[in-house]
Amino acid sequence: MVNVTDADAFIMSLKENIARRGHRLLEILADIERLLASDYSNDDIIQRTGLSEKYVRDIVFLLEKGKERLIEAVQNGTIPLTTALEIARAKHADRIETA
């Protein structure tokens, strides 16, 4: 019998699902959001899940800087992740320039 925390069990399950089924954006988005809410850093998520640094950082950026409507659009399949990231980055850059 192996004793693991709930958080470690969640990460092990996430890692197995990624390996078995490939990346399912909606699940990955929700799972990374859950890990962030549990105070995992980007580096922790990268190391524990095996996802690429760019992919995790893009998802985190969208979760932190993207509007809720953008995230919902990605989750609903209305727009692809890359488009949502471009919109979020453009909005973020506009805020920096006007500050």
Question: Which of 56, 65, 98 is closest to 84 using CA atoms?
Answer: 65
**What is the pLDDT, as a whole number, of residue 62?**
86
Dihedral, CA of residue 79, residue 77, residue 14 and residue 39, to nearest 10: 50
Print pLDDT tens along the chain (99 aa).
667 788 888 888 888 777 776 666 777 888 888 899 999 999 999 998 888 899 899 889 888 887 788 888 888 889 998 999 999 888 777 666 655
Q: Crossing angle, helix 68-76 and helix 81-98, to 10 degrees?
A: 170
> Whole-angstrom distance between the N-terminal and C-terminal Cα of the chain?
56
**What is the pLDDT, as a whole number, of residue 97?**
60
Q: Which CATH number fits domain 6-98: 3.30.420, 3.40.50, 1.10.12, 1.10.10?
A: 1.10.10
**What is the pLDDT, as a whole number, of residue 22?**
62
Domain boundaries, the chain: 6-98
**What is the pLDDT, as a whole number, of residue 83?**
92
**What is the pLDDT, as a whole number, of residue 26?**
74
**What is the pLDDT, as a whole number, of residue 21?**
62
